[in-house]
Structure 1
């Protein structure tokens, strides 16, 4: 897939009483996206230590087309619709990668 990598950090805050359900839905959506979408190169979700309702997601897509396709998938739409009432804040930050390597 050609084009510029799309790398973004999503900063979310979740209703604390909905956190367990949110985390399950997020995990399901990430696992489906990485398994089913060739243009989804990496999705990593973490929470801020001491503030588990503050979620950060590092998203890496092969290009803009892959990102736009991701937004139309059944698993993303299920996640987005099911969590709409749980998310109290969402900020998307586009970033430029400097170096990205991993070994898990």
Structure 2
């Protein structure tokens, strides 16, 4: 953990969602992301997208202040609620570790 202190953690989650559960999954994911960004100071951003033409192929780009913020996210009540509620909807999940190169965003972001 010490080697990551102070460095942002960026992960990409690659998910395949059961097509019949897609709308329910999206609603639960939106609820979880909103709670994470609102309630966790260590969450810098969470962006969820689907691959064009393949709505069941979802990618979540996650950025945390540091390693301890990432671990705090994994134990946050809203995440612990989200995980079992979506477990049967997710056909596959792969987490990709990254090495941040440049992370920049406008300060007054709006999401849709």
Q: Same fold (TM over 0.5)?
A: yes
* Aligned residue number for residue 71 of structure 1: 74
Pick one of 72, 79, 88 that aligns with 2:91: 88
Deviation at 1:102, TM superposition (A): 2.2
Alignment gaps of 5+ in structure 2 = none
Structure 2 Cα separation of the partners of residues 84 and 95 of structure 1: 24
Q: Does 1:24 align with 2:37?
A: no
Give RMSD over aligned pairs. 0.9
Structure 1 Cα separation of the partners of residues 36 and 87 of structure 2: 19
Aligned residues: 103
- The within-5 A match list for 1:1-104 is 3-103=6-106, 104=109
- What SS class does the counterpart of residue 58 from structure 1 fall into? strand
- What SS class does the counterpart of residue 36 from structure 2 fall into? helix
- What SS class does the counterpart of residue 102 from structure 2 fall into? coil
Structure 2 Cα separation of the partners of residues 80 and 36 of structure 1: 17
- What SS class does the counterpart of residue 22 from structure 1 fall into? helix
- What SS class does the counterpart of residue 46 from structure 2 fall into? strand
Structure 2 Cα separation of the partners of residues 85 and 58 of structure 1: 21
